[in-house]
């Protein structure tokens, strides 16, 4: 096992509410791990406000970070602002991909409103390979859809969907969406009870290209496909989280202590006494 | 070795679920190398005592704590044996006879605990009654563990009490940890301080207090599901149907805006 694999194994075992602290400690033990771990370990998302877009909130992760700033999906500017010299090196999506990104942010903002009734959403896209077709339609690209609810409250939900969109087949007639989803769910009661952690799953779905699409049609098509797959994945994972958090943990608890066995015996003897009493009447 | 290195090892090990400490140690050794060995053993010693980890000594589990420690060794008053601990493997070594044994009262408590444990606990149990400095007081420890690494879960119940046989005051803490890590990392922790000031029978009071803890935990689960989880993300939108993605998605917003405008 490499140090990187060992670090990932450790983070899967240690207290999920302390993932950031443990991540920092592991990096102190072996600074060479920093880049790989920061890129692959999901931590609760940070929220920033975009001064270029009426202080609208956006989410921050390693994918929209440059130096200590994060690119806002609303204005496409880095916050806090970077110098002109720094910006020369900063990553931005191509025009074709940025157009899809704008549409995706608008659509997932509606999705967020309908399912989360609050919270914050952000979508970031980046190009893979050639920027665009001759006519400006996006080719292969990748991205991340982020949704967060419950900042500054006892309980929180962070959904992180990292995906690749790849054209496939000899005639490039298929497009495949490969999505890795992590949901970080922390629940705390007023009493000293914590139910916290994360679950991850991978999904792959292919769609047949419906003939030739204009750049605008292509963007709408991609966002529709992504949207419906992510909507389905989140619904399935919400069920899975409910089962693991509220049923599985209780089942495991009963493998430690179960007083119902004794209670059943007691109830039975009480019941027998009642029956005896009735018979004696 | 710098002290911060040792602090990190100590902090990481102290955070490990009891069923996975050995895996955590293996990972730490891979990351930090053999130089970590000394710090790891030191941290494991603290871990096992702090978490009341049962140590296998000649076929039986013995909970180790500050109250059955003698120098660097530990003793079992039930079998009057003294042993060293291999903290990585949780086994007793260099076992020898000693003159530590229970008083009649302590023996009585221990036997009542035995009955309570067999009827109410389903895991691998260990329990102990140890003398404290104050001759009226005893320490009572309970542990129940179940490790199922092949199914990606493990659980640990532990409770510790101080019982004053003279004043009949009982005071303690119950800690429950459950870890589930298939396709993720989900941790359940519950901790509660409990007390009963007129415990004429310590074990009957422990049973009542622990049943209350179990009931309270059950209520907290329901509360977290109803009041916290359900508020984070809906199962379906208010419209009760999935979203119609695509060019027309903006109509959801138009619908909402016009509804809001009508309220203005």
A188 touches chain B (CB under 8 A): yes
Residue A134 lies in a domain: yes
DSSP tag of B139: E
Chain A positions touching B236 (Cβ under 8 A) are 235
**Can you give the pLDDT at residue A261?**
65
Question: Which of B 55-114 lie inside 8 A of A, CB atoms?
Answer: none
State the ipTM, two decimals: 0.92
Residue A26 domain-assigned? Answer: no
Q: Is B120 on the interface with A (CB under 8 A)?
A: yes
Q: Is the pLDDT of residue A278 over 90?
A: no
**Model confidence over B87-132: pLDDT tens digits?**
999 999 999 999 999 999 999 999 999 999 999 999 999 999 999 9
Q: Tell me the CATH number at A238.
A: 3.90.1150.210
B31/A114 touch (CB, cutoff 8 Å), yes or no: no
Could you tell me if residue A254 is inside a domain?
no
- How many residues in total does chain A contain? 281
Which residue from A16, A189, A262 is facing B224, i.e. has the nearest CB?
A: A189
Q: Tens of pLDDT along B17-30?
A: 999 999 999 999 99
Task: Give per-residue pLDDT as tens, B164-199.
Answer: 999 999 999 999 999 999 999 999 999 999 999 999
Say what the pLDDT of residue B1 is: 47
Residues of A in Cβ contact (< 8 Å) with B249 = 106-107, 110, 227
- Tokens describing residue B181: 């890590």
* Mean pLDDT computed over every residue of chain B: 94
Nearest to B109 by CA among B81, B82, B138: B138
Residue A170: give the domain boundaries.
93-248
Whole-model pTM: value is 0.91
**Encoding tokens for residue A200?**
């991850």
Q: Is residue A279 part of a domain?
A: no
Spatial separation of the C-alpha atoms in residues B138 and B165, rounded to whole Å: 8
Total of domains in chain A: 1
With 0-12 CB in 10 A as exposed, 13-18 as middle and 19+ as buried, what is B118? exposed
Q: What pLDDT does A260 receive?
A: 74
Q: Is the bond preceding A26 in cis, omega lying within 30 degrees of 0?
A: no
Residue A196 has pLDDT above 80, yes or no: yes
Q: CA of A148: which chain B residue's CA is closest?
A: B232
Q: Which helix (H) or strand (E) holds B119?
A: helix B104-120
> Does any domain span residue A260?
no
pLDDT of residue A211: 85
Under DSSP, the state recorded for B235 is S
Which pLDDT value is given to residue A268?
A: 55
Among the listed ranges A156-170, A265-279, B26-40, B224-238, which one has the minimum average pLDDT value?
A265-279
From A113, A149, A192, residue closest to B191, measured CB to CB: A192
What is the Cα–Cα distance from B64 to B46, expressed in whole angstroms? 11
| CA A158 – CA A120 distance, rounded (Å) | 10
**What pLDDT score does A136 carry?**
60
Asked if residue B14 has pLDDT above 50, the reply is yes
Q: Which of A125, A107, A127 is nearest to A63 (CA)?
A: A125
Q: Which residue of B has its CA nearest to A10?
A: B24
Closest residue in A to B216 (Cα–Cα): A191
Tell me whether residue A239 is in a domain: yes
The mean pLDDT of A119-143, rounded to a whole number, is: 81
Is A230 among the domain residues?
yes
The pLDDT of residue B187: 97
Mean pLDDT of B149-163: 97
Among A235, A168, A173, A160, residue whose Cα is nearest residue A200: A160
Query: In which band, very low, low, confident or very high, does the pLDDT at B248 lie, cut at 50, 70 and 90?
Result: confident
Look at residue A171 in the predicted model and tell me its pLDDT: 73
Chain B residues touching A106 at Cβ < 8 A? 249-250
Q: With both helix axes pointing from N to C terminus, report the angle between A95-116 and A215-243 in degrees, rounded to the nearest 10.
A: 40
What pLDDT shows up at residue A269? 57
Task: Give the residue-averaged pLDDT of A70-74.
Answer: 98
Cα B189 to Cα B177: distance, rounded to the nearest angstrom? 5
CB contact under 8 Å between A29 and B26, yes or no, is no
Q: Which of A54-58, A267-271, B14-18, B190-194 has the lowest mean pLDDT?
A: A267-271
CB contact under 8 A, A149 and B232: yes
| pLDDT, tens digit (0-9, with 9 covering 90-100), for A201-244 | 999 999 999 888 899 999 999 999 999 999 999 999 999 999 99
Task: Return d(Cα B62, Cα B85) in angstroms, integer.
Answer: 11
Residue A170 lies in a domain: yes
């Amino acid at each position: 096992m490499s140090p990187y694999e060992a670090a990932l194994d450790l983070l899967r075992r240690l207290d999920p509410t302390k993932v950031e602290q443990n991540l920092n400690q592991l990096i102190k033990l072996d600074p060479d791990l920093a880049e790989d771990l920061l890129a692959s370990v999901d931590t609760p998302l940070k929220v920033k406000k975009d001064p270029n877009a009426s202080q609208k909130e956006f989410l921050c992760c390693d994918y929209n970070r440059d130096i200590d700033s994060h690119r806002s999906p609303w204005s496409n500017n880095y916050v806090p602002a970077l110098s002109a010299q720094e910006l020369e090196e900063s990553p931005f999506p191509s025009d074709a991909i940025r157009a899809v990104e704008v549409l995706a942010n608008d659509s997932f903002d509606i999705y967020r409103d309908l399912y989360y009734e609050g919270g914050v959403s952000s979508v970031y896209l980046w190009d893979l390979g050639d920027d665009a077709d001759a006519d400006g339609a996006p080719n292969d690209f990748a991205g991340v859809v982020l949704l967060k609810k419950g900042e500054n409250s006892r309980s929180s939900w962070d959904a992180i969907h990292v995906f690749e969109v790849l054209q496939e087949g000899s005639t490039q007639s298929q497009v495949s969406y490969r999505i890795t989803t992590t949901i970080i769910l922390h629940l705390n009661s007023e009493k000293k009870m914590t139910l916290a952690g994360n679950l991850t799953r991978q999904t792959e779905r292919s769609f047949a290209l419906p003939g030739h699409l204009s750049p605008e049609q292509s963007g709408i098509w991609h966002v529709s496909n992504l949207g419906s797959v992510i909507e389905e994945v989140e619904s399935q994972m919400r069920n899975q989280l409910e089962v693991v958090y509220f049923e599985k943990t209780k089942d495991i608890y009963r493998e430690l202590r179960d007083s119902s066995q004794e209670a059943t015996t007691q109830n039975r003897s009480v019941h027998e006494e009642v029956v005896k009493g009735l018979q004696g009447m | 070795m710098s002290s911060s290195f040792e602090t990190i090892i100590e902090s990481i090990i102290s955070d490990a679920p009891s069923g996975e400490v050995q895996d955590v140690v293996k990972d730490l050794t891979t990351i930090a190398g053999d130089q970590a060995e000394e710090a790891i053993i030191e941290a494991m010693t603290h871990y096992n005592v702090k978490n009341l980890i049962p140590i296998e000594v000649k076929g039986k589990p013995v909970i180790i704590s500050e109250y059955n420690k003698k120098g660097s060794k530990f003793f079992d008053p039930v079998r009057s044996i003294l042993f060293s601990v291999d903290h990585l493997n949780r086994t007793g070594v260099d076992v020898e006879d000693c003159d530590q044994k229970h008083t009649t009262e302590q023996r009585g408590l221990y036997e009542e605990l035995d009955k309570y444990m067999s009827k109410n606990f389903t895991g691998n149990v260990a329990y102990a009654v140890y003398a404290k400095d104050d001759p009226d007081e005893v320490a009572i420890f309970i542990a129940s563990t179940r490790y199922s690494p092949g199914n990606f879960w493990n659980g640990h119940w532990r409770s510790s009490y101080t019982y004053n046989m003279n004043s009949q005051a009982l005071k303690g803490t119950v800690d429950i940890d459950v870890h589930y890590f298939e396709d993720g990392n989900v941790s359940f922790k519950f901790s509660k301080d409990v007390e009963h000031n007129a415990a004429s029978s310590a074990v009957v009071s422990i049973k009542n207090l622990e049943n209350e803890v179990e009931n309270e935990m059950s209520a907290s689960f329901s509360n977290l599901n109803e009041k916290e989880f359900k508020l984070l993300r809906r199962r379906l939108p208010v419209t009760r149907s999935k979203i119609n993605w695509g060019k027309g998605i903006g109509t959801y917003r138009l619908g909402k805006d016009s509804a809001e405008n009508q309220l203005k």
